[in-house]
Structures are given as structure tokens and as C-alpha cells.
Amino acid sequence: MSQMSRIKTARAAKYFLLALSFPVIFGCSRTVQKLEEIRDRVVEPNQHVRPVSATDNLPLGNPSGASQDLANRNNYLITRNAYSLSYNNDRGTANWVAWKITADDLGEALPRPDFRPDPDLPFGFRKVLPSDYSGSGFDRGHMSASADRFGDSERNEQTFFMTNIVPQTKDLNQFPWQKFESYTRTLVRKGYDVYAIAGILGDKGKIKKRVTVPATCWKILYIVPRGGDPSVSGSAKVIAVEMPNDNGIAHERWIEYKTSVRDLERKTGYDFFSSLPVPEQDRLETVVE
């Protein structure tokens, strides 16, 4: 079947599902459940795939060994211009998201795009929708920050794909997490390039039985002088944080949540900075900046 035929078939399926949805208005809960099951299996083919290498966003290594093997549903690698991520189908969120921030990536605020399902999720993967968060009490929290991509509208839109979103409390998302994002951009404006990776830990239950709420959110910054080679780690600095996904932390400073990369490795089972020599890994991963 040709690409155009697949696109037409997928669109026809979507219109068919839309027609089926009318009984939902009158309270047919069984139909709702069936449509949600089908929705997870119907993914319109992406017509805008770009050959971006994962190493562009992961020059220090792939911490979980994520791959594009379709059997690897809970550690599935998605790579695009804005970032690379490991998707966890059971959780309905990323395990981690990695990206680089340079001065060219920053700019004036852009019009806010709509949140949308990820068009690159393979057929059969869980397709989380913005509405899955509605009424949950949780923010749609960015892993790769929108403002880190104000320099390019296309990359900024990619930060609103739901695979880059995790459930965060308002107090986390809008206060210490946001302040750490802002501090990161301050470093970039002061003459540094930053390689960031952010992710989740733990399980505080599910939203609508579809999206797992993390217990904590973590983030690691690998900071080098502007234009510097990330593999030359002698001048690099590292900052790592792990923040609780709780209410009541709006007045906490992000620096209260500093940790070491080695501690995050112990908790996640990941291997960060694996492309660096072991002595350099030991030096950078054990310090709390």
C-alpha cells in the first residue's frame, strides 16, 4: 500500500470514529470505552518525518538504551529537531527528554500553540490527548521547556506534543520547576551552551487510568562554554535537581532540590554521560554544584 493510500485509510478511519462518537453524547459509556481503545490503535501517518540524528540531542550518550524497536514499547526512542525522548507506553509519558539549548534557540515569546498528540507515535501505541488531563487537577508540565525553543516556531510547537508533557502539580510546574528553567536560560545568555535531560520517577496513580502521575521530576544540566565540544569535559559543569511532584512547594527555591547525577543514576537505573571517559564520569556525577 502506498504512503498516500495509508494516509487516506487513516483519515477514513478517523471520520468513521467521529461518526460513531455521536451516541456518546447520550451517555453510552461502553461506546466511550471502545472508542478510547480504538483511538490508541489509530495513528495517522506522519507526513513530515525529518532525518534528525539522536546524537544531536544526546551527544553524551543514550542513558536508558532507548531504541526504535517497536517491541521496546516502554523505552521507545523518538527523535526530532526540538529534542529526543524515551517514551513509556504503559505510563503514557516520556521516561526522559533530552535537548540542547544555545543562544540561537532563545528569543521573544511566541504565540502559545495548542497541545496535541504526538504524530510520530507508532501504530498501536497509547496516544495521549490533551483532554486526558482535563479536570485532573494537574498541569500539563513540559519536560523540554517551550521558552527554550522561542527562537524557532516549528521547534516550539514540538514542545507541545503530549509525549513531552507529564502531570505536574501547579506548585511544582509554575514555581521551582519554572524557576530552574529560567535559570537555565540565564546561563545560556551569559555565554554557555547547555545540554539538558529531564525525566520522571515514581508512581502516584493514574489520570483517567491512562497517564501515570510521577512522584518526582528530575533534571540534569551539562554546561559548556558557548560553541564548546561536549566531549571535552574539562571545562564542563553539571547541575542536577530532583523535585517532589507535590503541592505546598510554591515558595521553595529550586536550589533546595539539588542532587548528584550519581544519585539519579542509582534511582533510575540509567547511565548518564556514558560517552565520557570513566574518570570524567566519576568527577562530574558525584559533585553537587
Residues known to be catalytic = 142
Residue in the structure block whose three cell numbers are 534557540: 105
Cα dihedral sign for 166, 24, 121, 51?
A: negative
Cell of 179: 524557576
Residue-wise over 28-42: b if at least 16 C-beta within 10 A, else e?
Answer: eeeeeeebbeeebeb
d(CA 191, CA 188) in angstroms, rounded, equals: 5
**DSSP letter (8 states) at residue 195:** E
d(CA 145, CA 149) in angstroms, rounded, equals: 7
Please spell the DSSP secondary structure of 36-62, one letter per residue.
Answer: HHHHTT--PPPS------GGGT-TT--
Element (H, E) at 184: helix 176-189
d(CA 229, CA 227) in angstroms, rounded, equals: 7
Cell of 246: 507535590
C-beta separation of 149 from 80 below 8 A: no
Cell of 151: 527562537
Closest CA to 136 of 92, 182, 85: 92
Element (H, E) at 194: strand 192-201
